[in-house]
């Protein structure tokens, strides 16, 4: 829990620092490349919120697969690459945490594995 707290705090500090312009950037006009980055960041935040909301309904495996597939596909990979990588990611997490560490991952209301 402490490690997760420190990681969240570090992420917030990094996020705030990225939004505060430095002295050299303050005199420059708005960079047009910032708009797609902001859009991608907001999409990621919305997808992460949806992921957290879907875990109790779909279960960890299905929600994680959907989140990983969507994010990989959005970043420009072909759908079949996103399918393979997200499937391997979910299988790896299930094997590592579910079978090796015996962590009970949420099954969800639908009872999906």
* pLDDT tens for each residue of 4-30: 788 888 888 887 877 776 655 555 555
Q: Is residue 95 part of a domain?
A: yes
pTM for this model (two decimals) = 0.70
Q: Is residue 87 part of a domain?
A: yes
How many other CB atoms are there within 10 angstroms of residue 108's CB atom?
18
How many domains are contained in the chain?
1
Q: Is residue 29 part of a domain?
A: no
Distance CA 108, CA 74 (A): 26
At 112, list the tokens.
Answer: 């999906």
Q: Is residue 84 part of a domain?
A: yes
Read off the pLDDT of residues 99-108 as tens digits, 9 standing for 90 and up: 999 999 888 8
Residue 74 belongs to what domain range? 50-113
Q: Which residues of 21-35 are buried (b: 16+ CB within 10 A; e: fewer)?
A: eeeeeeeeeeeeeee
Q: Is residue 74 part of a domain?
A: yes
């Amino acid at each position: 829990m402490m490690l997760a707290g420190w990681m969240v705090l570090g992420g917030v500090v990094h996020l705030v620092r990225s939004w505060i312009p430095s002295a050299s950037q303050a005199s420059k006009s708005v960079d047009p490349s910032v708009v797609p980055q902001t859009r991608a960041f907001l999409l990621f935040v919305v997808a992460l919120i949806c992921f957290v909301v879907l875990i109790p309904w779909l279960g960890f495996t299905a929600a994680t697969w959907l989140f990983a597939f969507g994010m990989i596909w959005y970043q420009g990979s072909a759908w079949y690459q996103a399918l393979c990588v997200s499937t391997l990611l979910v299988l790896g997490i299930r094997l590592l945490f579910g079978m090796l560490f015996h962590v009970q991952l949420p099954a969800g209301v639908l009872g999906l594995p």
